Copies of this chain bind each other. A is one copy, B any other.
Amino acid sequence: MARIVMKFGGTSVADIDRIRNVARHVKRETDAGHEVAVVVSAMAGKTSELVDWTRQASLIHDAREYDAVVASGEQVTSGLLSIVLQSMGVNARSWQGWQIPIRTDNTHGAARILDIDGSELVRRFGEGQVAVIAGFQGLGPDNRIATLGRGGSDTSAVAMAAALKADRCDIYTDVDGVYTTDPRIEPKARRLKKIAFEEMLEMASLGAKVLQVRSVELAMVHKVRTFVRSSFIEPDAPGMGDFDNPPGTLICDEDEIVEQEVVTGIAYARDEAQISLRRLSDRPGVSAAIFGPLAEAHVNVDMIVQNISEDGTKTDMTFTVPSSDMEKSLAVLEKAKDAIGFDVVQSEPGLVKVSVIGIGMRSHAGVAATAFRALAGKGINIKAITTSEIKISILIDSAYAELAVRTLHSVYGLDKT
């Protein structure tokens, strides 16, 4: 017997038939004797409808009222799923964030979970009751509903799993796991059986839209074994009830991954723009002079590369921003030109960042060189490179995006065997 948190997103609970399907997944686990807490999102489209109403009401609005309106979506799903579970003979009840309570900070609209009292839920597990929890929300210090912001239900689920000391947090979604790369680009992409938290964090932030970054961070901190699996597979399909080896991808501590590959996956992000400042005076504070004003303008700077210039007295600074922020960034830089003191600014939108990710590269030399050689062999020009312990990111022309992904996927041996 294990304790499991199961999380279902909006497309998995889009209508009553889909909710019935979710209930069958839950019943499979309770029939197997497991203790289950379910975390649900709003029915697909409902959150957008509610958000849209708050905008119609006023473009600038009180985040606390926004929270009261928008949190109602998950409330509805929690009640409906409880009703369906009961009709299938499963002892279930709904829980709103304020009832548990899930305590958050006061940042309405993007609150952080501070504390969860899971004691009553655990007591009821002992009575065979399933907890159906409205995701995406908690209770602020002002005794008002606070929502967690984007992807909040994933975060709710992981936080509940940590609070309940669950053996696993199963995230049911519309994909059946985490792949070595995007299967739409490389049909030979393989579903990973396991991936380390750190790797998943890089995959998530680089455009593999399976899990929100925040929930992976939380899972890593609390060592919550998080399992990504599909709600669209029939609940009683072969293997679905296999606790030790169900179909999907386990995100876990690297210690749990016995045979670590050097490279785990290839991620990519489109619509990057490159900005280069040439012949900056090489003095302390020049980085702050550049990136301070950009941060104030809410530009999200990603890769940053600094080179010494030819003569050794000047420096070049290259960085990337979302293409949509390029014009704004250039205007900010122009305004701060005197304070920064640069000679020439160059920019190029519409680039692609391809990243090679793997914890194994820590202990393997030459991983980067392999990438550069492989891309050179296909005639792909590299515009910028940044590296971390477990990642190599390469900026290239968007025309070469698919070719680069496939080339790297193959050269690191990730293709299906």
User: Chain B interface: which of A65-73, A199-207, A349-357?
Assistant: A65-73
In contact, B82 and A96 (Cβ under 8 angstroms)? no
Interface hub of A16, A67, A71, A79 (most chain B Cβ within 10 A): A79
Chain A window 367-398, contacts with chain B (Cβ cutoff 8 Å), 1 for yes, 0 for no: 00000000000000000000000000000000
Query: Which residue of chain B has the shortest Cβ distance to A49 in the bound complex?
Result: B76
Cβ of A94 within 8 Å of any chain B Cβ, yes or no, is yes
Q: Report if A87-B72 is in contact (Cβ < 8 Å); known contacts: A79-B66, A143-B99.
A: no
- The count of residues in chain A whose C-beta lies closer than 8 Å to any C-beta of chain B is 38
Q: How long is the Cα–Cα vector from A236 to B91 in the complex, in angstroms?
A: 54
In contact, A76 and B53 (Cβ under 8 angstroms)? yes
Q: How long is the Cα–Cα vector from A69 to B69 in the complex, in angstroms?
A: 14
Cβ of A93 within 8 Å of any chain B Cβ, yes or no, is yes
A selection of 27 A-B contacts at a CB cut-off of 8 Å is A16-B57, A50-B76, A53-B76, A53-B80, A57-B87, A58-B83, A58-B84, A60-B87, A61-B86, A62-B82, A62-B83, A62-B93, A65-B79, A65-B82, A65-B93, A67-B79, A68-B75, A68-B78, A68-B94, A69-B79, A69-B80, A72-B73, A75-B75, A96-B145, A98-B98, A99-B143, A99-B144
- Which residues from chain A sit less than 8 Å from chain B, CB to CB? 16, 19, 50, 53-54, 56-58, 60-62, 64-69, 71-73, 75-76, 78-80, 82-84, 86-87, 93-94, 96, 98-99, 143-145
